[in-house]
Each structure stands twice: as C-alpha cells, then as structure tokens.
Structure 1
Amino acid sequence: MKRVLEACQLYRFYHAGDEETLALRGVSLYVDVGEIVAVMGPSGSGKSTLLSCLVGLDEPDGGYVQVCGNRLTRRTEEERAVIRGMHIGILLQSRNLFSHLTVADNIRLKLRQLRSKDESKIRSLLSWVHMEERIDAYPSQLSGGEAARAGLALALCADPKLLVADEPTGEVDLDTETSILRLLDERRSSGGATLIATHSDRVAALADRVITIHDGRIANEFDQPEIRSIT
C-alpha cells in the first residue's frame, strides 16, 4: 500500500522556567492509503501535541514527518502551509469555523484560498454531511453535532489524501457519531486516509489500527514502523 503519512522518532519538549516537559518521546507511526488509524490515550498523554506536529502546526524538536512523500518538518511556515493545503484536511475540536461567517461562507473562503470558484462544491459538500438545510446558519446557531459535520465538510474541501481529526465525535450525540463514522467509512472506501485522536470505543472499532499513546510514548510497540534513514 502507498504510505500517506510517516512520522519517525518525534520528540517535543517545552520549557517553563527551569521546568522541562517532554511531550513526545520518540513517537513513530504511519498511515497508508484507505486506512483509518485511531490514536487513543488519556488526557495529557501527548495526542494533541502529536497531531499538531503531524500537520505542521507545530515543529518537533527531533525526528521528521512526511506527507505524501513531502518532508513537512524543518521547512518554513509558508512551505508547510502549501503542503497542508495540497494534502491534509484538519478537523480540530474547535471545528475550524469562523464565527462571523455562515457555514456556506466558511466553505467559500476555503475554496477561494484553494483558488477554486466552483460554487456547486459548497452544496455538494454540505449535502454529503447532511447539512444542506443549514447552509446560511452561523456557527453560534448550530448544535454540537451540526458544527462537527460542518467542520468535517470544511476539512474535506480540497479532497485531501489525509484527514487528521482531533476528537471529531467528542461532543456529539450517538446519532451524530454514527453519521460521522459512516461518512469516514465512505471516505475510506474511496482511498482516503484518516488519523483520529479519540476517546471513543466506537471510533476505535471502525479503525483499521489503534495506536495507544501514554506519557508521550507509543504504548503498543508493534505499531512502531521500521525506522528508515533520513534522506
């Protein structure tokens, strides 16, 4: 299978005065085409730090990340933004929505950033997540489940090869979680790769593999890929 995401020996530490916190301790993982991989672990285990490093919103202090064969680490923010825009869809717990824009205008803005003028894509994306009737709503007018689905539509604007999601079902009801899982499963069947940080056993059950992180380390060592030399 073609590898979409590869992270090798990631380290990340933070300083607060004389205190040093090692948030990631040599984390390695991979995601292949058509895979859903769940990352699980207790609060404070390093999941959010890991996701930030994997999508280039944070820079690891050691190791490297490759997305679709492109080195993401140790590049300028402008270079990382280009790679993100081409290959990665990001769904954060904030749902990615600008509060002063309607659902449609949030997606329209993203399409403009992608230099796309295809207005029909707005309705097709919202139809896919069953949100077409809320096209003119503002984020403050959405329920938690609606915001989650609108955020998912926004993350998938560019048809990214990789979706990285942080607790996409964390604040939704059972029916909405079922709907989101069904959408992710549909995406997998068309070759889309997904990495999800989650506490949900239902998300874990959908995943092809579950990686457990604890205290900044991968707990299930068999999920660590073979370490290759950096070229």
Structure 2
Amino acid sequence: MTTPLLCATDLQRRHGETVVFAQVGLTVQAGEFVAVVGDSGVGKSTLLNALAGLERLDGGAVHLQGRRVDTLPEEAQALLRREHLGFVFQAFHVLPHLSVRQNVALPLMLLQRPDAARVQQVLDALGLGSLGERLPQQLSGGQLQRVAIARALVHRPRLILADEPTGNLDPDTAAQVMQALRQQTREQGAACVMVTHSPAAAALADRVLRLTRQGLSPEARPT
C-alpha cells in the first residue's frame, strides 16, 4: 500500500480547559486536494497551523511522507517547512519592502535555488505576470492574496496548506486561484489541505471534511 503523503492521527488541541478539537484523523494521498469546512471558532486554522508545526498539539501525531514531524526539534521543523511546505496565510504576510517578484521568489532564495523562470511561471498562472515590480502597497487585497498563494507554490512543496485562499477574492479571481491550486497539486504530486467557508471553493476539492470538536467527518456533497 502506498504511504500517504500526509497522515495525522488522533490530534487534540486545548486552550486551557477548553477542548478546541479532539480525535482528529486525516490521511491525504499525493495529488489529492482536500477541503476542511466547519463553524467559526471550531479550530480550522488551528488545525492547519498544527499540521505545519506552527502550533503545538496536546495529543496525536503528524507524519509527512512516512516521517513523524510533530516531535522534531524546532530547527528541524523550520527546515522541513522551508523545503516541503507551502502555507497560504489568511493574513497574507507579504513583506511590504519587497516587490511582488521578490516576495514570490523568497522561498527559492531561502533554499538557495533562485529560478527567475519559475517565479514568472507562477506569477503568470495567478494573473500577476505584469505586476512583478510593484510593491505590496500598490496592490488590491485580492492581488495581495494571489501574491501570497504564488509564494506558497513557487518552490513546488510536497504539502500545501491554504487558509481561506479565496476569502478576499471576487468570484472570477477566486476561480482562477482555485484552478492554479488544483493544477499545482496535480502536477507536483503534492497534497493540498484547504480551510474554507466558500461552498464554491470546497466543491472543487476531491473530498470535503467537516471539523467539529469531535474530529473530522466526510461532508455530504450537494446532489
């Protein structure tokens, strides 16, 4: 049997005495696109952060390509994120003093693998091809969101984690972004886990899972 690209078992997270979620299990194969939906405050962003090693867990285990990663030392987790993860943050985290092109190129520069052609390819795929020299303050919210997504995709990560990637976009731009995410996931043989409130975005995933305090369960698709 093929080893899943991502396997999370019995994940638990608490804030003090309050249980955010428990008994969360998630297995994602290479090339698979999974959407996670759920009520506000149930811990969807917390789950993504925990999968990335950005937030500690109170129980459970996370394996990436068969290797347990949640117990790695902090420095080793940071190196793993740099090499193998692409994270689309809800708050963008675009660096204001760098141009669009420089922001998108940053993961490749940190890996010491500069690739101007790859940067331009991802910019073009997200409709940013002519905006490479602009600074973030010259962009709309939707354009900033696409810069953040391009930066997450540029180094061809094995695991893409996307927190509301279409949350600030108009329907046409949202569809373009979702197409790029799906295409990159397929082409790279990556796994993508996306948190979303958008039914239209969730409908494009291979599977939709609903997060509650008791774990993840399959969401019935509209008939």
Give TM-score scaled by structure 2 length. Answer: 0.91
Instruction: Report matched runs for 1:1-231 at 5 Å.
Output: 1-15=2-16, 20-190=17-187, 191-215=189-213, 217-220=215-218
Alpha-carbon separation, structure 2, partners of 1:172 and 1:127: 17
Please list every run of 5 or more consecutive structure 2 residues that lacks an aligned counterpart in the other structure. none
Q: Separation in 2 of the partners of 1:40 and 1:221?
A: 8
* Cα distance between partner residues in 2 of 1:70 and 1:96: 28
Residue by residue over 1:93-139, the C-alpha shift from the partner in whole angstroms, topping out at 9 and shown as x without a partner, is 12231122111121233222111132333222212212011111122
Aligned residue pair count: 218
Once residues 21 and 160 of structure 1 are traced to their aligned partners in structure 2, the CA distance between those partners, rounded to angstroms, is: 34
Q: Which amino acid aligns with 1:64?
A: A
The share of aligned pairs that are identical, in percent, is 38
Partner residue, 1:226: none
CA RMSD in angstroms comes to 1.8
- How many Å separate the matches in 2 of 1:147 and 1:136? 13
| Distance in 2 of aligned mates of 1:218 and 1:79 | 28
Question: Which residues of structure 1 form unaligned runs of 5+?
Answer: 223-231
- Partners of 2:111 and 2:128 lie apart in 1 by 22
- Answer yes or no: is the 8 Å Cα contact 1:35–1:208 preserved in 2: yes
Q: CA deviation at 1:25?
A: 0.9
CA apart distance, 1:188: 3.6
Question: How far does the alpha carbon of each residue in 1:24-80 deviate from its partner, in whole angstroms, 9 at most, with x for none?
Answer: 212111111111100000110110111010011012111110112221112211111
* Contact 1:161-1:193 at 8 Å conserved across structures: yes
